[in-house]
Amino acid sequence: MMKRFKNILVGFSVSFIGSIPLGYLNVVGFEIFSAFGVEELLLYLLGVIFIEAFIVYYTLIFANRLVNNKKLMKFIDIFGIVFLLILAYSFYSLSSGTIANRNYLEKYISYSPFLIGLILSSLNFLQLPFWTGWNLYLINGEYIKTKSSLKFYYLAGTLIGTFAGMIALVYFLHSLSQNTENFSKYLMPIIIPVFFIVLAIVQGYKVFKKYFR
C-alpha cells in the first residue's frame, strides 16, 4: 500500500511542477478558458493528458534505450529550439495588435478542444527528454517501483499532477489578466512571444552545453 501511495505522490509532484513550464500548452489552455469557459478547458486538458499518458508510460519502459540513442535525443533537443521560436512568432502574428480578437481561436475550437489538446500535446516533443530524464532518475534512485501494476499508480499520479498543475496555472493567468490591465494588453503581442524566446535561449544553452562544449 505504501509503495502505491509513494508512486502516486512522486508522479504527482514531478508532473505538477513540470506542468508549469509546459509553455504553449498552458498558454493555449488559458486562451481557450478565457474565450470559451471551463468545459472547453477541461476537454482540452483531457486531450493533453491522453497523449502524455502514452509518453510517460513508454519512456518509463524504454528510458534506458531512449537516453542512449544520442542521435534521436540530439534531434529532439535541437528541434525543440526551432519549435519554441516558431511558437513565439505564431503568437506574435496572431495577436494582430489586439487581445480582444478571438477569431483565430474560434476557427480552431470548431475542431473540438479535446482534439486540439491531442494535436498540441503530440507536437510537444520536449516531453520526451523531460520524462526520459525524470524516469531514469526516479528508477535509479529507487524513488518509485515499476514492477507489475505499481507503474500504473505512478502513471496515474503524473496525469493527475499535470491536470492539476495546468488548471492552477490557467486560473492564475486568468486572474492576473482580469486584475492587471497592462498584462492583458501586452500578453499576446509581447509577453507570450518573449516567454517562448527565453525558453528557446535556455534550451539552446542546454543543447550547446550537452553536445557542443
CA dihedral (74, 12, 147, 52) in degrees, to 10, reads -50
The per-residue pLDDT of the chain, averaged, comes to: 78
Gap between the Cα atoms of 197 and 203, Å rounded: 10
Q: Does residue 145 come out as left (phi exceeding 0), alpha (psi in the -120 to 50 range) or beta? A: beta
Which residues does 80 contact at the CB level (< 8 Å), separation at least 6? 125, 126, 129, 203
Gap between the Cα atoms of 65 and 135, Å rounded: 12
pLDDT, tens digit (0-9, with 9 covering 90-100), for 126-177: 777 778 777 877 877 778 888 888 889 999 999 999 999 889 888 887 787 7
pTM summary value: 0.69
pLDDT of 105 over the 50 cut: yes
pLDDT of 101 over the 50 cut: no
Which grid coordinates are listed for 167? 488548471
Q: What pLDDT does residue 21 have? A: 52
Gap between the Cα atoms of 116 and 15, Å rounded: 21
Gap between the Cα atoms of 157 and 4, Å rounded: 10
pLDDT, tens digit (0-9, with 9 covering 90-100), for 176-201: 777 666 655 666 667 767 877 887 88
Average pLDDT over residues 7-26: 77
pLDDT of 47 over the 90 cut: yes
Residue 18 identity (one-letter amino acid) = G
Taking a C-beta distance cutoff of 8 angstroms, is the pair 114, 47 a contact?
yes
Sign of the dihedral through C-alpha 35, 38, 39, 45: positive
Q: What pLDDT does residue 78 have? A: 80
Q: What pLDDT does residue 34 have? A: 81
Could you tell me the end-to-end alpha-carbon distance of the chain, in angstroms, rounded to an integer?
46
pLDDT, tens digit (0-9, with 9 covering 90-100), for 49-88: 999 999 999 888 887 677 667 777 777 778 777 767 876 7
pLDDT, tens digit (0-9, with 9 covering 90-100), for 87-100: 677 667 655 544 44
